A and B are shown apart, each in its own frame.
Chain A
Amino acid sequence: MLAEKYPEEVKKILEKYPPEQKRSAVMPLLYLAQRDGGYITKEAMKDIAAMLEIAPTEVASIIGFYTLFLDEEAGKYRMQVCTDLPCALRGADKFLEELCGNLGVKVGETTSDGLVTVEAVMCLAGCDKAPMFQMQSSEGLEYHENQTVESAMGLIEEIRRKEQFSQQG
């Protein structure tokens, strides 16, 4: 239960909205739930729906609309590559294909070490700097623009080193 785990933060979020419009708090609460578990579980959806007195289906629908909300367990890092038309014209689709080849995964899959999930997403508003992707993790969101397969692989190596280091403590 979010309200029990993060009483302060939930209170702060709910206070921002008038009580008769508390449904507006759905987005910040979804971020909170996602930060907590890496993705939004069915239980969290029900929990948020009950808190805001809306239908669980409506909560699920919001998650479905926004690519930033995740409802399936995946890698700790989500590498979201834009493949819309302008990016594709700058080689984003080829970039994605080669990147996947290097990592040994298909689009939507997670690397064998469970760290990185590669996804193709809709417009990220960085068309002129494609190929580009955003890296989503518990630490937040990071844009990486004007990418090559080498630079992207370098970033992943860095992540792997960092994770190894933090595991060794």
Chain B
Amino acid sequence: MTKQVTLTIDGQQVAVSEGTLIVNAAKQIGIDIPVFCYHPKMEPVGMCRQCLVEVGRPVVDRATGQVVMEDGKPKIQFGAKLETACTTPVSDGMVVLTASEKAKANQREILEFLLTSHPLDCPVCDKGGECPLQNLTLAHGAPASRFIYDEKQHADKRVPLGDLIWLDRERCIQCARCIRFQDEIAGESVLAFYQRGRATDIITNSEPGFDSIFSGNTTDICPVGALTTADFRFGARPWEMKAAASICSQCPVGCNVTLNTRREAKSGGKVVLKRVMPRQNEAVNEIWICDKGRFAHHFTENEHRLATPLARKDGKLALVSWDKALGLVAGKLADAKGEAVVLASGRLSNEDLFNLKQLADGLGGEALLYTQMGGGELTTAYGVPAGTNFAEMGIGTTILVVASDLYNEAPIWYLRLKQAAERGATLILANARETKLEKYSQFVVRYSYGDEAETICGLAKKAHVGEAITSAENLVVLYGSDGLGLDGSSALAAACAELVKSRAGKPNNGLIGVWPRANDQGAWELGFKPVADLKAVFQKANVVYIAGADPFGDNPELTSRIPHHASRIPQHASRSTHPAPFIIVQELFLTETAKLADVILPAQAVTEREGSFTSGERRAQRFYPAVPARGQSRADFVITAQIAAEFGLELEGRFAARVMDKMAATVKTFAGISYRELAETTEQWPIVGRGDLYYGGTTYENKQGLGVILALSPSPTGRGARGEGKPLRPDEDHWLAVPVTRLYDLGITVATSALLKARTGGAHILLHPDSAQKLGLAAGEQVELNGNRLEVRLDPTVPVMVALVPRSMGVPIAGPMVAKIKAA
């Protein structure tokens, strides 16, 4: 433990660890020293001078080294000038006065200076109501300004820094929080000051402007209304909105968020989602979220959401009542019994997946997970246990990242690992291509696509890298599916598990899957098995009940392989004699899969209901309803329970909390977990929230639960499938096409958020410039890959004769494949 230092602030004694800054020591005992440039997550700079306080220190006799006493108390010498509380560390016996006449006069005068050139357009400012400058002016400012209003400097009020963030130059008080966030935290120096003095301006010269996937966070920590998001700008006033706690559903990190909603005339009197804000969870996302999580929320209100059940009549989908739809579906399932298959994805909550699994078990059918990434039984066995915290990882911890581009797949983990490396953790990056996180790594292991598992098997024996792994006090391995399909990633998971097996159950040690969806880990915990051959499933099953997955949209070729459904699309006449399966689709939208369904059941979005997700680090976290459900849609677990009830199987279909109770009683890794436990919080540092806007920003305090890391299941229920045969290799005229993940893809959440479109683009592949030259192609030209026309983008980090095909960008790619590519 670090040395404790005792000091007195405004008459209150406080003991804090050595090195603590005065501003933070004061915060710990509830004394608010006003700040603008200081932010507890960043290095202090002392630029704004708002935090100046009187600081006195005990007088020490130079001859004896003893503290001079006066009237039985140490004699305190105050400095002639005020000192910045945000840059001055505490010392023993220090006396700080934050509210003396001298300190208060300074607070008043700095505010007066800041307001000499501030437009005071609070009535039309997005920040009004949650603005540190406004709040601190009311608390500490002078009632009137001595400066002449007409001499205010005026500047541009509408400067787009990029397509996501707007700058109001007049409102900026030059605290540099946004610049420092980009430099220190995001590691993307795309903002800077330009000019000096009153002319100081925030600029970006990146292409595209403000090129960062964390840009939205700058609007949270901006202490004025200078930075606003294009999404929320003039959207609502802060005090009009309600807040509901939620969990981001975009990736396996499980960022804690708050959804702000408002009932508004503009939306026909409906309650709508206005913005997504970070909610503090220091073990998960601290107080940050990525731009995808912040801006890709428009799917909830999209006009194309399914609102009523539909059933096929005379070949066409027609409206039906819930009763009729449920009856029809239940009848088919009951008849099919063991020939029924449930196919679900990690988009669904734990409760949904649990009920679906119960239903499949009740029928004697299979519960399959729609995924192209395997190894979940190994993360269940060797995952990171309770007590694990990214914030604690530093010297002594080795973190190995294999086959994952975290910047694109799980942006907040990218930040956490960057921080861990900066604190002294040994970061090892193993991938077939260069990824952004390599900048912060000590070791880079480069392999060819196809050699993933083999490389990891040999890693412990390698010089230096092997030592960093075997001798590490703590070892965390994150593996993903960059360039891999189900087989390859399963084999890789098995290889990675070998590295952490001996450390099972030790906090800050274990295996983490960088899954493509928010709750893939939950599906594994609940006993779903990955499906390797979808075609076979559809050819064999009598009834397929698909929830939260769009296999036909992801791979249109599948359609022609399924006899009955192919006949719905005339050009693919089929000769198979096998009767077609009855397809039930439970979805938000009329996806390609839904279009082929016999019955469509409209589901509620994550924003409309209660539930829980299990993150990649196996943290179960609750989300709460924020907006009323669309149309007649119902929560997935409710629908499943109602279907089951029709044929006499009793499942919990009323309260999500009770589904969790059942899970806790029957699923080993959920044992003992309840909604109440998931909702527990403990005090977190830094203190942020509604009363502390000036300090932490507009991020929300966590009052709704920090979540619980699930217990490990020591004996794996299955083994990672070993990759079979030789790895695929490119040759003279065959390319190796491999799947990769991009943050902004054409998935339904991004596609429905117009703001992100410019950053997404259309279907494309990434080639090395030399490869493109070989094809006689330049950037932006078209190629043909297995009948798909795609735009070529050049990327020097791609290996030669390899083509990276982004997932969910219009080209089906389940795993690595040998392909012919030619100029189109």
Measured CB to CB, the residues of A under 8 A from B are: 42, 45, 54-61, 63-65, 122
- Stretch touching chain A among B197-205, B304-312, B617-625: B197-205
For the complex formed, measure the closest distance between the CB of A15 and the CB atoms of chain B, giving whole angstroms.
25
B197:A122 contact, CB within 8 angstroms:
yes
Distance in Å: Cβ of B133 to nearest Cβ of chain A:
24
Query: In the complex the two chains form, is B196's CB within 8 Å of A122's CB?
Result: yes
CA–CA, A60 to B202, complex, Å?
Answer: 11
**CB within 8 A of B195: which of A42, A45, A59, A64?**
A64
The chain B residue sitting closest to A55, CB to CB, is: B189
A57 near B191 with CB under 8 A, answer yes
> 7 tightest A-B contacts by CB?
A64-B194, A61-B192, A55-B189, A56-B205, A57-B205, A60-B205, A57-B192
**Does B190 count as interface, using CB distance less than 8 angstroms?**
yes
B201 and A64 contacting across the interface, CB-CB below 8 Å: yes
Q: Cα distance A61–B203 when bound, in Å?
A: 8
Residue of B193, B201, B203, B205 with most chain A CB atoms under a 10 A cut-off:
B205
| Contact mask for chain B residues 176-197; partner A; CB cutoff 8 A; 1 contact, 0 none | 0000000000001111111111
Q: Taking each of A45, A56, A122, which has the highest tally of chain B beta carbons within 10 Å of its own beta carbon? A: A56
CA distance A37 to B197 in the complex (A): 28
Instruction: From the candidates A55, A64, A122, name the one contacting B206 in the complex (CB within 8 A).
Output: A55
Contact check, B203 vs A57: say whether CB atoms are below 8 A apart.
yes
Q: Complex: how many Å from CA A62 to CA B196?
A: 11
CB distance from A85 to the nearest CB of B (A): 13
A147 to chain B, nearest CB (A): 24
Name A's interface SS.
Answer: helix
Number of chain B residues close to chain A: CB under 8 A: 15
Give B residues with C-beta under 8 Å from A: 188-197, 201, 203-206
Judging by beta carbons under 8 Å apart, are A58 and B196 in contact?
no
Q: Are A60 and B189 in contact (CB under 8 A)?
A: no
Residues from chain B with Cβ under 8 Å of A59 in the complex: 205
Q: B196 to A65, Cβ gap below 8 A?
A: yes
Q: When the two chains form the complex, which single residue of B188, B189, B193, B194 contacts A54, counting CB atoms closer than 8 Å? A: B189
Min CB–CB distance A117 → chain B (angstroms): 17
Whether B189 lies near A65 (C-beta < 8 A) is no
B194 near A55 with CB under 8 A, answer: no
Asked, given contacts A45-B205, A64-B203, whether A58 binds B189 with beta carbons under 8 Å apart, the answer is: yes
A65's contact among B191, B193, B204, by CB below 8 Å, is which?
A: B193
Give the chain A neighbours of B197 by CB distance below 8 A: 122
Quote the shortest CB–CB distance from A78 to chain B (angstroms). Answer: 17
List, in ascending order, chain B residues with CB within 8 A of A45's CB: 205
Chain A positions within 8 Å of B195 at CB level: 64-65
Measured CB to CB, the closest approach of chain B to A164, in angstroms, equals 36
Taking the closest CB of chain A, its distance from the CB of B180, in whole angstroms, is 13
What are 11 A-B residue pairs whose CB atoms fall within 8 Å in the complex?
Answer: A42-B205, A45-B205, A54-B189, A55-B188, A55-B206, A56-B205, A57-B192, A57-B205, A58-B189, A61-B192, A122-B196
Question: In the complex, given contacts A60-B194, A60-B205, what are 14 additional A-B residue pairs having Cβ atoms less than 8 angstroms apart?
Answer: A55-B188, A55-B189, A55-B192, A55-B206, A56-B205, A59-B205, A60-B192, A60-B203, A61-B203, A63-B194, A64-B203, A65-B193, A65-B194, A122-B196
Contact A57 B204 (CB under 8 A): yes
C-alpha spacing A59/B203, complex, angstroms: 11
Question: Which listed residue, A42, A57, A63, A64, touches B190 by the CB 8 Å rule?
Answer: A57
Q: Once bound together, how far apart are the Cα atoms of A65 and B203, in whole Å? A: 12
Tell me the smallest distance from the CB of B160 to a CB of chain A, in Å: 15
A63 partner residues in chain B, CB cutoff 8 A:
194
Determine the chain B residues whose CB is within 8 A of the CB of A55 once the complex forms. Answer: 188-190, 192, 205-206
Chain B nearest CB: distance from A44 CB in Å? 12
The answer on a CB contact under 8 Å between A61 and B194 is yes
Q: Which residues of B contact A54 (CB under 8 A)?
A: 189
> Residues of A contacting B191 with CB < 8 Å?
57
A46 closest partner in B (C-beta): B205
A54 to B205, CA, bound (A): 12
* Interchain CA distance A92-B194 in the complex, whole Å: 26
Q: Which A residues touch B205, using CB under 8 A?
A: 42, 45, 55-57, 59-60
